[in-house]
Structure 1
Amino acid sequence: MTRPRGEGSKPVRAPEPLLWLAGRPLTGWSATGLSVLAGAVLVLAFAPFDLHLLAPLALALWFAVLRGATPRAALRHGYAFGLAFFGFGVTWIFNSLLIFGDAPWLVATLVTLLFVLCLALYPALLAWSLTRYLGPAPLASWLLALVAGFVILELLRGWLFSGFPWLLVGHVLLDSPARGWLPVVGEAGGALLVGLLAAVLVLAAARRFSAGALLLAALLAASAAVLPWRWVEPAGPSLSVGIVQGNIEQARKWEEDGVRHAMSRYTGMSQEAAGVDLLVWPETAIPAFYFEVDSELEQFSATMEEAGTELVIGIFDYDPVDRSMYNSIRHIPSAATYDKRQLVPFGEYLPLRDRLAWLDRLLDIPMSDLSAGTGSGRVEMAGQVAGLSICYEAAYARRIRTALPEAGFLLNVSNDAWFGATLAPHQHLQIARVRSLEMGRPMIRSTNTGISALIDAEGRVTAQAGLFTSEVLRGEIQPQQGHTPAARFGPWPAVLLALLLLLPALRSLRRA
C-alpha cells in the first residue's frame, strides 16, 4: 500500500504485477532479465533484421514488467532495457572509434560504454517516474501515460546535447502496413502508434478485453480515415541520376597520395555515367579543401556538362576570412555550396574543447575541428530545387524540413566507411528511407562504401548499390511538390496527443 495522502483519506492500493510464473509474480531480478530480453528483441525490429512486428511485442513485454514494480525496481528494469537496446543496437560506435578513430582499445571501450550508459538513462528515468508518480493509476490510463512518456523521451533524446535520433521506434513502421502514418504524424507519431499497439497487447494479456478492443478500434478507424490520403504529386519531369560509390578505405583516403588516388578513382568511374542529369559523389569524396583541387574539378565538370551532366560532390571547404573549415556539398556548375549544419560530436568537433583536449589527443580523426554551417539546405540543380544534407543530418527531421516545400527532392551524401561491417550502414539507410516517406520527397543517397541508393517519395528503394563495392549506380527520381503534414507541422501534433494521453492517469490519481 502507498501512504495515505492525508488524514481521513483512503489508502491507494498499489497495482498487482501482470506477469506471474507458477503462481508467483515475476518480480526482482527475473523481471530485470525480461527487461534485458525486451530491449535486445526490440533491436531486431530495425534494419537489417526488419522484424517490425517484434517492436510492439518487445514494448508490451517491458510495459508488463513495469506494472506493479516499486519505483526502485522500475528504475532497474528501465536501465536494463536501455542497456540491452542501445548496447546491442549501437555497438558500431566501438568499431568507429577503434578501427577508424585509431583510439586505443581501452579508450574505445570506455567511450562506447559511457555512451550506452548515458542513453540507458532515458528509459530508466521514464520507468521510475511513471511508477513513482502514476503507479496506482488504472491499468489502461497508466499504459497511455507510459506510451506518452516514451514518445516524449524519444524526442528529448533526439534533441538534448545535440541529440541522438537513432533507433527511433517509429522507424519500424517503414515496411509495415502502417507505413502511411509516417507522412502524417512523422517518426514521433509512429512511435506513439507502436506504443499504443503494445498497450493493446498488454490489455489483452491482462484480460481487459473491453479497453483493449476500444483502443484497437480507435487505431483502426483513424488508420482507415488517414491512410488513403496522398499528400504530394509529381513536379516536372523525372531526373536521371548517377551515383559514384568509390569504395575507398578510410585509411587509404588519408595516405600521402590519397587525394590523387581519389581523384583518379572518381573521375575515371564517372565516365560511365556521362549523360545523366545529375552525377553525385559522396561525402568528402576528395580528402582535400576545394581550393586545393578546384581547377581540376571545374575542368572535369565542364567536360561532363558537355554531355549534359551536372556534377555534385562532397568535399571540405575553407573560409580564409575567419579560418573556418566546413564539411560541404558543392554543385560545381553553379559554385553553390551547402555546409553541414548538424556536426557529429567528437567526430567533427569536440564539445567543451578546453576540458576534453586530452580525449582529442587520444583520437586520430582527420578534420575533427569543423564549423557548423547555416541556411535552409536548398540549392538549385538540374532545373529543380534540392534539399541537401550530409551524413548524420538525415536523422534530424527538423534539419530536412527547412528545405520544404520548395525542394522537389532530397540529396544526402555520406561516408559510412566509419561504421565498418556493422548494423549501422543498414540502420542509416533505413533512416534515409523514413525521411523520404515522411517528407514526401525522393532522395539521392551517395555514400563512399555503401549503401548508396535512390529512394522514391514512398520510401521505397528503386536502385541500390552493395556494401563495400565499387560501382556506379544509375536510375531516375521523380521530383515532388506539396507538403505532408509531418513536413509542415513536425513532431508537434504527436507531442500534443502524447500530453493528452497523460490526462486520464492524472485525473484518476486526483480522484483517488
Structure 2
Amino acid sequence: MHATLANEAATGGAEAIRSSPGRWLDSVALWLLALAAGCGGLIGLAAAWPRLWPAALAALVAWGWLVVMTARRSAVLGTVALAVGWAAWHFTGQGWVALAVRESEPLAWQLLVVLVMVTVQLLPLLAAWWLLAPLGGSHRRRASVLASRWALAVAAAESLRQFGWWGSGYASLGVVFVELPGARALVPSVGGAGFGMLLLAWSALAALAVWQQASGAWRAAWRTAVPALLLAAACAAWPEPPMAEVAGSLGVAAVQPPAERGKRWTRSFRDEALQQLEAAIDASPAGTLLVTAETFFPEPPPRNGDDNRWGDLLRRARQRGVHLLVGMPHLVRDQEGVHLANAVVQLSPERQSLYAKERLVPGGEYLPWAQTLGPVYARLFERVREGQRSGPPELTAPLFVAGTTVGVSICHELAFALTQAERAQGAGWLANIADDAWIDSALYRRQMLGLARLRALEAGKPLLRVSQGGPTVLVGPDGRVQAQAANQERAERLAVTLTPRDGTTAYQRHAEALAVAPLLLGALLALIAWWPRPVQTPHGGSIPP
C-alpha cells in the first residue's frame, strides 16, 4: 500500500516535471535526487561495512528504480539521478583519498582532489549511458529497456575503472557484497566484477518489478523474490573450483612494525627494526617464513657487506633456517639507468630474489604527467617521489620460497583484479604487504580487509596481508578471516599456519574476458541502437537512411 502510494506520488511529481520543462529542478525533483544520493551513499558505506549488504542491496534496487522512473519522464532528470547516485557512492566509498593530501593544506584542496577523482570516474558512466540512449528512446519506451540500460551502463563503468590509476577494487560491488550469501560459490567462477554484473542484473529485474506493481505490493514483492530465489539456487548448485591442497603446510609469521615508522627514519629506528626482525628470527622454528609489512626498512639494503648489523641478520637467518620476505625499497637498473622501486626482498638460506611493485600510487609514489602536474602534486601530497618506477615484468613473477610459490603484491595493487589474477597464476598462496598508516581512515582500512577477502575468493587460495597501521590478517580460500593481529597500532608478530593450494579457478582462466564483457556487450548494443534505419512512410513504404 505504502509502496503504491509512493510510486503514484513520485510518478505524479515526474509528470509535473515533464509538463513544465523549464522547471524540471523543482522541489519534487530535489527530493528524488536526494533519494538517489542517499542510495549511492549507502552503497559506498557498505564497502567498509559489508554487513550492511541487505541495506546496500535495497539501495541498489531503489537507485535503479529512481533512474528508470525519472528517465521515463525526463531525460535530463534521469541522467542527473544516475550521476548523483554514482557520485555519492564513490564519494562515500573513496572520499578517504582526501586524507592523503597534506594536513596543512586548506580543506578546499582536499575537496578538489575528491572532486577530480569522482569526476574522472563519472565520465565513463555518463559516456556509457549516452551511447545506450537509443535503447531507451523517448519517455514512452518500456521501463524494462531503461532498467537494462541502467544496469549495463553501471557495469561498463565498473569495468572501465580497473584500467585507470586507482583500479576497480575500491568501493566496488564485489567488496560491498562480499558477505552476501552465494558470494563464496560464485566469486571463484566469475570474480568480483562478474558477481557485480549479476547483482546489477538482479537489481534491474527487482527495480522493474517494483515499477510494474499495478496489482499491488505483494505481487511486486513476489516478482522481486523470484529472481533472488533463482540466483540462490544457482549458487547452491554451482560446482566447486578444481583446486587441490599441496602436501604439507607452511608456518608463516607476519612481522608488523609500529605505525608511521617511515616518516622519521633515523639510524636508531633502523637498529630498532633490525632488532625486532632478529627477535622474530630467534622465536621462529626452522623452515618458518617471516613476512614484514611494506617499507619495513624505508631505505635500500646496503650495497656492500660493511654494515655489520645487516650482515648479522642474514647470518642469523641462515643459521636458523628461516626465510624472509622484507618490504623495503630497492635499486633497479634498466636501460635508462638506476631507479628506486618499492620492493619485497626475498632472503632465504638457498636463494635471494626480488619482487618490484608494478602498480604505483599516483601522487604517493609517482607523478602521472609529471611535467604538467608536478608542481600541484608536490604541493598537495605527502609522499611524492619522482624517482620511483614500476617493476618490470621479470620482477613481478611468483617467488619460490620455503618450498612453495607465493604471489606477492604490495598495498595498492590489491585494488587491481587483473593484476591479482596474474599474481595468483602458478602460486600456491598470496601475500600482500602494505603501509596503511599514511591514510588515517577506518573506511580505507576496512575496505582493504574486504579487498583481501575478495581476492582470496577469486584465487581460491589463502592470502596473508601484513600491514603497518592497518589490518594484518590471514584470509582462507573461502574468504573467511582465519587469523588477525589484535592491535594495529603497535609492533606485533602474528604466527599462522597455511596450506598452499594448486590449480586455478574459472575466474583466473577467464579474468580478462570477464573484465571487458560489459564493455563489449554495451558497444554491440550501442552499435545496433545507433545504426541508421529506414524511415517508414504513411503509405507503407520506407525512406533509406
Does the alignment reach a TM-score above 0.5? yes
Counterpart residue number, 1:373: 391
| 1:147 shift after superposition | 1.7
Amino acid paired to 1:370: Q
Matches within 5 A, 1:283-294: 283-291=294-302
Q: Aligned-pair RMSD on alpha carbons?
A: 3.1
Q: Tell me, in whole angstroms, the C-alpha distance in 1 between the residues paired with 2:49 and 2:223.
A: 35
Question: Are positions 1:159 and 2:163 aligned together?
Answer: yes
Stretches of structure 1 that go unaligned for 5 or more consecutive residues are 1-16
**Aligned with 2:506 (options 478, 485, 488):** 485
Question: Are positions 1:311 and 2:324 aligned together?
Answer: yes
Q: Tell me, in whole angstroms, the C-alpha distance in 2 between the residues paired with 1:237 and 1:501.
A: 47
Partners of 1:31 and 1:77 within 8 A in 2: yes
Equivalent position SS for 1:463: strand
Counterpart residue number, 1:187: 192
Question: Are positions 1:42 and 2:43 aligned together?
Answer: yes
Partners of 1:312 and 1:329 within 8 A in 2: yes
Stretches of structure 2 that go unaligned for 5 or more consecutive residues are 15-27, 214-219, 537-545
Partners of 1:144 and 1:502 within 8 A in 2: no
Question: Are positions 1:423 and 2:443 aligned together?
Answer: yes
Number of positions where the alignment pairs a residue of Structure 1 with one of Structure 2: 493
Amino acid paired to 1:318: L
Amino acid paired to 2:331: Y
Provide, for residues 380-411 of structure 1, a one-character-per-residue CA deviation record: whole Å limited to 9, x for no partner.
00101111111111111211222344110111
Counterpart residue number, 2:344: 329
Matches within 5 A, 1:142-291: 142-161=146-165, 163-179=167-183, 180-207=185-212, 215-216=227-228, 218-226=230-238, 228-250=239-261, 252-255=263-266, 257-269=268-280, 271-275=282-286, 277-291=288-302
**Aligned with 2:497 (options 476, 490, 499):** 476
Equivalent position SS for 1:328: strand
Amino acid paired to 2:404: Q
Counterpart residue number, 1:444: 464
Partners of 1:71 and 1:128 within 8 A in 2: no
Counterpart residue number, 2:367: 350
Equivalent position SS for 2:114: helix
Counterpart residue number, 1:108: 110
Q: Tell me, in whole angstroms, the C-alpha distance in 2 between the residues paired with 1:437 and 1:340.
A: 22
Equivalent position SS for 2:290: strand
Partners of 1:244 and 1:270 within 8 A in 2: no
Counterpart residue number, 2:417: 397
Partners of 1:378 and 1:403 within 8 A in 2: yes
Change (3 A) 1:158 1:405: closer
Partners of 1:19 and 1:64 within 8 A in 2: no
Counterpart residue number, 1:28: 29
Question: Are positions 1:341 and 2:358 aligned together?
Answer: yes
Equivalent position SS for 1:472: strand
Structure with higher Rg: it is: 2
Partners of 1:71 and 1:131 within 8 A in 2: no
Partners of 1:345 and 1:351 within 8 A in 2: yes
Partners of 1:134 and 1:142 within 8 A in 2: yes
Question: What TM-score results when the alignment is normalised by the length of structure 2?
Answer: 0.82
| 1:349 shift after superposition | 0.6
Q: Tell me, in whole angstroms, the C-alpha distance in 1 between the residues paired with 2:39 and 2:330.
A: 45
Change (3 A) 1:449 1:162: closer
* Range moving further from structure 2, 73-82 or 230-239: 73-82
Change (3 A) 1:57 1:491: farther
Amino acid paired to 1:197: W
Q: Tell me, in whole angstroms, the C-alpha distance in 2 between the residues paired with 1:213 and 1:324.
A: 57
| 1:266 shift after superposition | 3.8
Change (3 A) 1:93 1:405: closer
Equivalent position SS for 2:178: helix
Equivalent position SS for 1:406: coil
Amino acid paired to 2:367: L
Amino acid paired to 1:238: S
Question: What TM-score results when the alignment is normalised by the length of structure 1?
Answer: 0.86
Provide, for residues 451-475 of structure 1, a one-character-per-residue CA deviation record: whole Å limited to 9, x for no partner.
1111111111111113323211111
Amino acid paired to 2:164: L
Question: Are positions 1:359 and 2:376 aligned together?
Answer: yes
Partners of 2:424 and 2:430 within 8 A in 1: no
| 1:311 shift after superposition | 1.0
Amino acid paired to 1:379: L
* Range moving further from structure 2, 112-121 or 263-272: 263-272
* Range moving further from structure 2, 285-294 or 329-338: 285-294
Amino acid paired to 1:24: G
Partners of 1:140 and 1:211 within 8 A in 2: no
Partners of 1:267 and 1:300 within 8 A in 2: yes
Counterpart residue number, 1:455: 475
Counterpart residue number, 1:7: none
Matches within 5 A, 1:22-101: 24-25=12-13, 28-67=29-68, 68-69=70-71, 70-99=74-103
Amino acid paired to 1:203: L
Q: Tell me, in whole angstroms, the C-alpha distance in 2 between the residues paired with 1:450 and 1:298.
A: 30
Q: Tell me, in whole angstroms, the C-alpha distance in 1 between the residues paired with 2:449 and 2:33.
A: 32
